[in-house]
A = this chain, B = another copy of it.
Amino acid sequence: MANIAKKVSWSGRGEDRGERTPLLNGAEDGKYNRKDIVRSRPKEIPHNEKLLSLKFESLDYDNSENQLFLEEERRMSHMGFRCLEIRRWVICGLIGFFTGLIACMIDIAVESLAGYKYFVVKQNIDKFTELGGLSISLILWAVFNSAFVMVGAIAVAFIEPIAAGSGIPQIKCYLNGVKIPRVVRLKTLVVKVFGVICSVAGGLAVGKEGPMIHSGAVVAAGVSQGRSTSLKKDFKMFEYFRRDTEKRDFVSAGAAAGVSAAFGAPVGGVLFSLEEGASFWNQMLTWRIFFASMVSSFTLNFFLSIYHNKAGELSSPGLINFGRFDSDTVQYNLYEIPLFIIMGALGGMLGALFNLLNNWLTIFRIRYVHRPCLQVMEAMLVAAVTATVSFTLIYFSNDCQPLGPDHTEEYPLQLFCADGEYNSMATAFFNTPERSVRSLFHNPPGTYDPVTLGIFTLAYFLLAVWTYGLTVSAGVFIPSLLIGAAWGRLFGILLSVIASSQSIWADPGKYALMGAAAQLGGIVRMTLSLTVILVEATGNVTYGFPIMLVLMTAKIVGDYFVEGLYDLHIKLQSVPFLHWEAPATSHWLTAREVMSSPVTCFNRVEKVGTIVDVLSNTSTNHNGFPVVTHTTGHDEPGKICGLILRSQLIVLLKHKVFVERASSRLIQRKLQLKDFRDAYPRFPPIQSIHVSQDERECMMDLTEFMNPTPYTVPQETSLPRVFKLFRALGLRHLVVVDNENRVVGLVTRKDLARYHMGKDGLEELHLAQM
């Protein structure tokens, strides 16, 4: 892969707006004096997929157990902890409720808008079919699509670029412990919801399911904090949960609630959250996540049933409804299993092809399509092309099917078909993708012509490849399912042609389901959670085993060629993502080799000036500082006695907790954990804190605020061992010490993430401040 100029990234156009994400942990504060900010477009940095960005920070999943924290915990009674636990359950309930509500809103908005669009276009087509002049209909359709997409794309590109795409890679990173700037903000949620309504209504080859996961995560991050920093509204609730540890747990519940609402799959949601995010499995946490999922699905179900005037019937647990596979037709035979495996392999290959094409396209986009207006224009172009391709295919298709009395098509297009018939290609194209999937699963045998399906598969495949990665909020689940359902049904039809005698072949819907699973599995490479999601979404357990086989095969075959789509996108953003285990052949590396050194340390009682200078040093930009007993010089490192974070130091400086002012302690309030929580998560940057020349000479006693028992490892520890400790406990800083307990280095996420398995064994990525 050649070096390419990298301009667009998840943190968006930070540079243009004067944001200095790496330093400020996503803070936006324009009040302070910034001489060193380059307002002009910065020099283009060559991008290479072998790079690792230093821009992304880790979450502090490890509690800083300093004296303040311990005092608070020790003060708390047994009852206090029980109340906390109840509050956690309440929060999870709220997360589920609001996520379900958002899902409901999206569903109703999309259905209404798309319904209106298809109604108008169908009227128009019906009118012009006899008169001639269908090109006017085409233009109408294309304009409709482009207009919707334009509005959505503008919102995303100009207001909040992080809301683009499905958000699943971002949430995956967040749950992995990477702080992606602005990913769980209220603004992102608003833009995301608005954007996804526009893009689905705009007829793009996208789904509204993926974004639900992101939405759920944002809801969780908001609700659990009991305030909105963007709205400057603090409800004074849930203050205990204002730290990364708790927040990340809630975000995993939110992601699960999102999956649950999207697919009506509460268990699938829990498994998704665990498969993609968790490292340490905690039973109580899992149950809370499960609860959030259940509430979310139930809320959606409840409100949709009211909307559909069937209050209390609870028949739509998810955004997508795959329809019911009746139990009498649901069966498979032993000799079909090899066929399913073949489909899985096919899905793996097609998925890999999808990912490869999309990967190239994304690199192209990173290089050339980085201005917001260009991005909006591309999105509009795709919308217009989608309409045109659909229209052309419908126009030239002569696959007419009789319109049965119980037809499921809401907008059957007659076009040039005889009366009482409808165009079969239009079922697939002139519909929201969810409906098309359902038709492919359930329409009786003979509904689709093989040629129609073949052409549709090809066209939709290319459209979906082009669409994913556009600057619109949209998911890839439904397009994948649709592509797979189409070729799966084709596969089923071909089989029934070959073995025409067997009645079992007569159900192409089964093969459509397997194809959908294979294609989706080939693209996103999930197994356990996806199996459960599909089982729950189809409401059928019998197909669980074949679906599992198909997904496993798809994953194995797909992994042979290229990684999963989400992983590719994560890689393209150079995120220091930690996998489950260290690379297998990394035992020859030790902590001494991977650690960063020398380490900037502080003394237990340190001069304010030194601290300010270190924090202001933009070239190093460290976030965690070992505290040592005494540093006599740079040559001899001091003995470790604690670890303090940049954010803690900032709060200390802001409150001017200096030894010299201790005498006036009586009038000065003692610093409490609350002060740290109030500043969380957007700690002010060091530049915003004014420290006078006199104050620079003061001393700060860190003893009370540092974490006195940071995890340490000896220098000889092997990389896998370091990795395991780091990953299992969700650490941000791991101090490497010699046998005298003197600090010799610091291991952070980037030190571990840069070693990965390449084609020829272990590879080391380069680090780049992007």
Contact = CB atoms under 8 A, between A and B. Distances in A.
Interface of A: 63, 65, 70, 73-74, 76-78, 81, 266-267, 270, 274-275, 278-284, 286-287, 290-291, 294, 297-298, 302, 311-315, 317, 324, 326-327, 331-335, 527-528, 531-532, 535-536, 539-542, 544-545, 548-549, 552, 580-581, 584-585, 587-588, 629, 639-641, 708-709, 711-714, 716-718, 721, 724-725, 728-729, 737, 739-741, 757, 761
A280 B279 contact: yes
Given A580-B283, A741-B739, A587 B544 contact: no
Given A73-B587, A313-B333, A725-B711, A535 B528 contact: no
20 contacts: A63-B721, A65-B721, A70-B587, A78-B584, A266-B544, A266-B545, A267-B544, A282-B581, A290-B527, A290-B528, A302-B334, A313-B333, A314-B331, A314-B545, A315-B331, A536-B544, A541-B541, A629-B739, A639-B739, A740-B741
B580 A282 contact: yes
A552 B581 CA distance: 34
Contacts of A584: 76, 78, 81
A294 B580 contact: no
Contacts of A585: 76-78, 81
Closest 7 CB pairs of A and B: A81-B584, A73-B587, A312-B334, A709-B717, A281-B281, A728-B728, A539-B541
Given A70-B718, A286-B528, A333-B314, A539 B539 contact: no
Nearest to A333: B312
A531 B271 CA distance: 13
B725 A287 contact: no
Contacts of A552: 287, 291
A449 B108 CA distance: 48
A541 B266 CA distance: 11
A78 B540 CA distance: 41
Nearest to A276: B283
A544 to B, nearest CB: 7
Question: Interface centre among A63, A270, A585, by most B CB within 10 Å?
Answer: A585
B527 A536 contact: no
Contacts of A290: 527-528, 531, 548
A312 B335 contact: yes
A765 to B, nearest CB: 18
A470 to B, nearest CB: 30
Contacts of A331: 313-315
Contacts of A708: 714, 716
Contact of A314 (B302, B332, B714, B741): B332
Contact of A78 (B539, B714, B761): B761
A711 B324 CA distance: 53
A70 to B, nearest CB: 6
Contact of A545 (B287, B297, B545, B716): B297
B267 A274 contact: no
Contacts of A275: 283, 286
Contacts of A78: 584-585, 757, 761
A718 B549 CA distance: 46
Contacts of A65: 718, 721
A608 B176 CA distance: 48
Nearest to A326: B327
Nearest to A287: B527
A313 B332 CA distance: 7
A286 B714 CA distance: 31
Nearest to A294: B548
Given A334-B312, A709-B714, A716-B709, A280 B280 contact: yes
Nearest to A85: B584
A436 to B, nearest CB: 23
A584 B74 CA distance: 10
Contacts of A713: 709
Contacts of A70: 587-588, 718
A73 B583 CA distance: 12
A294 B551 CA distance: 13
A261 to B, nearest CB: 13
A74 B719 CA distance: 12
A711 B536 CA distance: 43
A531 B283 contact: no
B739 A729 contact: no
A315 B548 CA distance: 17
Given A74-B588, A718-B65, A541 B545 contact: no
Nearest to A281: B281
